[in-house]
Amino acid sequence: MMQKQWRLAARPEGIPDRSHFALTDAPIPSVQPGKAVAKTLYLGVAPVMLRYMRNETEFESPLELGTLMPGRGVAQIIESNCEGLPVGAIVQARLGWQEYVLIDESDRPAPFLLPTDLPLSHGIGAVSLSGITALVGVRDIGKVARTDRILVSGAAGGVGSHVAEIAKALGAQEVVGIAGGPEKCTRLQRDMAYDHVIDYKNEDVDVALDRLFPDGIDLYFDNVGGALLDNILARLRRRARIVICGSISEYLTEKENKHRFINLQNLGRQDAKMEGFFVFDYEDVYPQCLEMLATWVREGALNPVEDISQGIETLPDALADLYLGNNIGVRMVEVGQPDLPLASLSPV
Ligand code: NAP
């Protein structure tokens, strides 16, 4: 029996397109001792994947041309020799861009079981790494407080779409989001709990920031980096926190053209902190975060926004969408449907 896989065909210089990938056929794997075979249901895309394709990350081994595209997703276990991964269970794991995968429990970050009472797609979004990233960023790095004046960039993206609801579930009162375009800004207020929005593509950001933050910003959750981050550095209140989650505005910029910061000294003047984090380093808090996120979804405090296309063929377009600004919420691809009854394990 054969399956489809996407492999890296060429290294993109700019935004990736279909010519950088090859859709190939490969045998469906057989189960092996200590491993399980899973059927892919959803695959997520993340901005960092472009950096894998360009071999720009230190934390992943080099991605050779011709190799399977890496990626995490949601899958159902269909054959198993792993005690912790029973047949029928739904897992979030490193699957790669393929329809069937051999899963190893010892992979790091480890595959984790997902609740089956929630939409399975949440297992690549809110009740998964996008949700955990937003939660760790707001709570553990940003140390959100009730009275904070909060700004989020990339607010309508996969991580950003969860930040306002999570900040409010943790006690925050008001959150401002920045995103590109009127449709995203409408959705920020209607579906993602943002109180005020700034459309950076159609309004003067300085004027909007002056109006919304006349006394400065306490907490900035940054997904885009670059010139906007520099602007915010100049607008910090005392003891402000900047959470460096990502810098998508600079991922395609050559080193010599990256933004040169002029307002960094303001961190010292304002007794403020700027701290980055990498969600894979927080594996020890995943179970507790997943439980919290799943509870918020069940209670209606967290309402995930997902942007789903159908079929494994759409994966290259899904990745390009992140850089084209086309996605609203967590961009993912539905690759298949479960064939077996869902194993009634409710881990979180
Ligand atoms: P995402 O925000 O859904 O990324 C796509 C969005 O980024 C686009 O819709 C677009 O929104 C915005 N964008 C694209 N190019 C841009 C540019 N040149 N300038 C400004 N905005 C641009 O992706 P995500 O997965 O949620 O990730 C958000 C950020 O967090 C990324 O930087 C990612 O690398 C980072 N991240 C970090 C961790 C961690 O462990 N720290 C984990 C996951 C993700 P607009 O149309 O609104 O511009």
pLDDT band per the 50, 70, 90 thresholds, residue 346: low
* Angstrom distance (rounded) from CA 21 to CA 310: 18
Q: Give the atom of ligand 1 at the shortest distance from the alpha carbon of 328.
A: 9
pLDDT value of position 107: 81
Q: Is the pLDDT score of 344 beyond 70?
A: no
Q: Whose CA is nearest to atom 35 of ligand 1?
A: 246
Q: Give the pLDDT confidence score for residue 57 in this predicted structure.
A: 77
How many percent of the chain have pLDDT more than 90?
A: 91
Q: Is the pLDDT of residue 345 over 80?
A: no
Our answer on whether the CB atom of 179 is closer than 6 Å to any ligand 1 atom is yes
The rounded mean pLDDT for the chain is 95
**DSSP sequence for 158-177:** TTHHHHHHHHHHTT---EEE
Please determine, for residue 125, whether its predicted confidence score (pLDDT) is greater than 80.
yes
Atom of ligand 1 nearest to the CA of 226: 19
Residue whose CB lies within 8 A of the most ligand 1 atoms, among 72, 201, 248, 278, for a mutation test: 248
Give distance in angstroms: CA of 151 to centre of ligand 1: 15
pLDDT tens digit string along 60-111?
778 899 999 999 999 999 999 998 899 999 999 999 999 999 998 888 778 9
Please tell me if the CB atom of residue 161 comes closer than 6 angstroms to any atom of ligand 1. Answer: no
Which two tokens mark 325? 């600004």
- Give the largest CA-CA distance in the chain: 64
Nearest CA to ligand 1 atom 20: 249
Specify whether the CB–CB gap between 277 and 137 falls below 8 A: yes
pLDDT in tens, 279-317: 999 999 999 999 999 999 999 999 999 999 999 999 999
Q: Ligand 1: does its nearest atom lie under 6 Å from the Cβ of 224?
A: yes
Residue 217 has pLDDT above 90, yes or no: yes
Cα atoms in the 13 Å half-sphere on the side-chain side of 75:
30
> Residue 197's closest CA among 186, 211, 206, 213?
186
- 327 Cα–ligand 1 center, Å: 10
pTM of the model: 0.96
Among 333, 340, 347, 323, CA closest to 99: 333
Q: How many CB atoms lie within 10 A of CB 22?
A: 15
Ligand 1 pocket residue status of 142, Cβ below 6 Å: no
From the alpha carbon of 156, which atom of ligand 1 is closest? 47
Q: Counting Cβ atoms within 10 Å, is residue 54 exposed (0-12), middle (13-18) or buried (19+)?
A: middle
pLDDT of 165-213, one tens digit each? 999 999 999 999 999 999 999 999 999 999 999 999 999 999 999 999 9
Angle CA 136–140–141, to nearest 5:
95
Angle, helix 160-169 to helix 286-299, in steps of 10 degrees: 80
If we measure between CA atoms, which residue out of 299, 297, 317, 294 comes closest to residue 307?
317
DSSP secondary structure string for all residues of 72-133: EEEEEEEEE--TTS-TT-EEEEE--SBSEEEEETT-SSPPEE--SSS-GGGGGTTTSHHHHH
9 lines ligand 1 (CB under 6 A): no
CB of 246 closer than 6 A to ligand 1? yes
Instruction: Tell me: cis bond preceding 62? Omega within 30 of 0 counts.
Output: no
Q: Is 157 in the pocket of ligand 1 (CB under 6 A)?
A: yes
Residue nearest to atom 1 of ligand 1 (CA): 157
Terminal-residue alpha carbon distance, the chain: 34
Q: Is any ligand 1 atom within 6 A of the Cβ of residue 141?
A: no
Taking the CA of residue 278 as reference, the ligand 1 atom at the shortest distance is 40
Q: Which residue has the tokens 């209670």?
A: 299
| Sign of the four-CA dihedral 229, 256, 199, 203 | positive
Query: What's the CA-to-centroid distance between 178 and ligand 1, angstroms?
Result: 12
Establish whether residue 177 lines the binding site of ligand 1, counting it when its CB lies within 6 angstroms of any ligand atom: no
**pLDDT tens digit string along 45-65?**
999 999 999 988 776 778 899
